[in-house]
Structure 1
Amino acid sequence: MSAHGPATPVRGAPCWVSLMARDLDSAQEFYSAVLGWRFRPASLGEEFSVAVAEGQPVAGIGALAQSFQVAVAWTSYFAVENADETADKIRERGGTVAVGPLKLGPGRAALAADPDGATFGFWEGQTLAWSVGRGAAPALLELRTRDAFAAAIFYAEVFGWASGDPDGCDVTYEHDQVLVREGTHTVATLRGGAVESAPDPRVRPRWHVHFPVNEIEKVTAATVAAGGTVTPVTPTADGEGRQAVIRDPDGGLFTVTSY
């Protein structure tokens, strides 16, 4: 992930997304061809880069999948004040901490999983100026899980959502989904079973990253040409746009969305 910049992120809010890749050059080649990103070196070392679109930071790529012995995947990171305390909270509430917290540049990072197995990261320190749904950043971070209400309780206890702190995130439950807001701005969505309904065993819990695109057919064609796979284009959950799920050649899964 990125670790240098002028911004102090809101506690508990998503603060970055990063691809855990096997090879930096091949990953950059794919995402440049499909999404038109350019890349610049990150402050964390030669294994990291920052994707840039329209002059703004979008996401990070780190060639760490092999060294950490994890699958290639897009990871959503959340801002915390103390990484060690956050790790303790995760373990106390039935989650796992797989990597870290470890020192990365001027900050500290860790990889974890919630009780249902959805992987996420957390970051202690400053970040680049970046927020979900604004500018070139991802349009949406979405947790698809078996029980959105139970997941919301876990993340609220870990990240301090809905604590009443004006410097934190609030949570609302609308139409069988949990919305995480920074002020009036939605920064994450948790979707799953309705309140008091049985969890859906068919759902594989996962945080999904949605990147905005203008011409979705052009993007899906470029995906196939670059060696990735893509699902058929479908309407978005709100019915106002279209989306497709893409898997890069190494298995990294993400969604592209156009409105």
Structure 2
Amino acid sequence: MTDARGPAAGRGGGTSARRTPGTPCWVSLMVHGPAATQEFYGALFGWEFRPGPQQLGPYVRALLGGREVAGVGRLPPDRHLPIAWTPYLASDDVNRTAETVRLCGGTVGVGPLDAAEAGRMAICSDPAGAVFGLWQAAAHLGQAVTGEPGTPAWNELATFEAAGVAKFYETVFGFELEPSATAGLDYVTLRLDGRPVAGIHGVGDALPRERGPHWMTYFQVADIGESLRRLTGLGGHVLEPARDTFRGRVALVADPEGARFSLLQSPR
């Protein structure tokens, strides 16, 4: 497993490098109550916030130690969309990538459009319905710090079956596909330049009916037990208790508005 950054980034440090197309470079959450959401994540991860591009409504960027790690915006009142963390994948040309998404059986729900001087974006879904974003960087390159508690550490797609949808991402972004060698595990690791950048997990009938295929963001924590206690004290919910995995110790949780994410304590 690796983090969502370009090769020029140092662990725990910032990066000024433009990401290889397809690399997860940002995560964003659209909610009904952004003020309460900022309070929750600020207390959970130590984030601070400052205004970001407002093209899709009120939006702030979350900062950790003064460096950008994620975004939080407000859903339009008339949009009844799932409250979910959305990963953005880097693109050198959002218009061209969005057209490739359409040609490969996906859909483009928003954009492409400019986000002020920050860059150009689109919000898409794959053929199975999982939502993801595209980001063409200008002034804003994306996540500026990795490998520290409170930063996104991994993005993983939960879907019905991995192989078919993996072909979509391979065609659109040029990923190298690495199927799991573990018997009975339907998992494909997406690689760029030989390094893992994301995963696809086929879970069949275990996929939550009310959720459908969806991307999951894992946030790094130093002590998962302490983080879970803090989360529940802030009004969050533990959906699956901490368990040991090949990534480290992982727990599935939700914030007070119901946005699901995972906490990850990496092996020491």
Give the shorter-chain TM-score range: 0.7 to 0.9
Instruction: Select which of 207, 216, 221 maps to 2:215.
Output: 207
Instruction: Select which of 80, 85, 88 maps to 1:77.
Output: 88
Shift of 1:177: 2.2
Output the aligned Cα RMSD: 2.5
Shift of 1:208: 0.4
Deviates more, 1:226-235 or 1:70-79: 226-235
Q: How does 1:93-172 map to 2 (within 5 A)?
A: 93-106=104-117, 107-126=119-138, 127-128=140-141, 130=143, 134-135=147-148, 137-161=151-175, 170-172=176-178
Deviation readout 1:141-187 (Å, 9 max, x if unpaired)? 111111111111001111232xxxxxxxx332233422222334321
Instruction: Give ranges in structure 2 of 5+ residues lacking alignment.
Output: 1-14
Q: How does 1:31-70 map to 2 (within 5 A)?
A: 31-44=41-54, 47-64=58-75, 66=77, 68-70=79-81
Cα distance change on mapping 1:128 and 1:108 into 2, 3 Å? closer
AA aligned opposite 1:81:
D
Deviates more, 1:65-74 or 1:86-95: 65-74
Shift of 1:237: 3.0
CA–CA distance in structure 1, aligned partners of residues 131 and 69 of structure 2: 20
Match of 1:182 in 2: 192
SS at match of 1:233: strand
SS at match of 1:201: helix
Deviates more, 1:211-220 or 1:5-14: 5-14
Q: How does 1:22-37 map to 2 (within 5 A)?
A: 22-37=32-47
Kept in 2: contact 1:50–1:61 (CA 8 A): yes
Instruction: Select which of 252, 256, 260 maps to 1:253.
Output: 260
Match of 2:227 in 1: 219
Structure 1 stretches (4+) deviating beyond 6 angstroms? none
AA aligned opposite 2:178:
T
Q: What's the TM-score once normalised by structure 1's chain length?
A: 0.82
Identity of aligned residues (%): 36
SS at match of 1:139: strand
Kept in 2: contact 1:28–1:39 (CA 8 A): yes
CA–CA distance in structure 2, aligned partners of residues 249 and 181 of structure 1: 33
AA aligned opposite 1:146:
F
Instruction: Select which of 219, 230, 239 maps to 2:238.
Output: 230
Instruction: Give ranges in structure 1 of 5+ residues lacking alignment.
Output: 162-169, 194-199
AA aligned opposite 1:28:
Q
CA–CA distance in structure 2, aligned partners of residues 14 and 256 of structure 1: 18
AA aligned opposite 2:127:
P
Deviation readout 1:112-167 (Å, 9 max, x if unpaired)? 11111111111122333637964463111111111111111001111232xxxxxx
Shift of 1:209: 0.1
AA aligned opposite 2:229:
A
Shift of 1:34: 1.8
Cα distance change on mapping 1:182 and 1:66 into 2, 3 Å? farther
CA–CA distance in structure 1, aligned partners of residues 191 and 147 of structure 2: 13
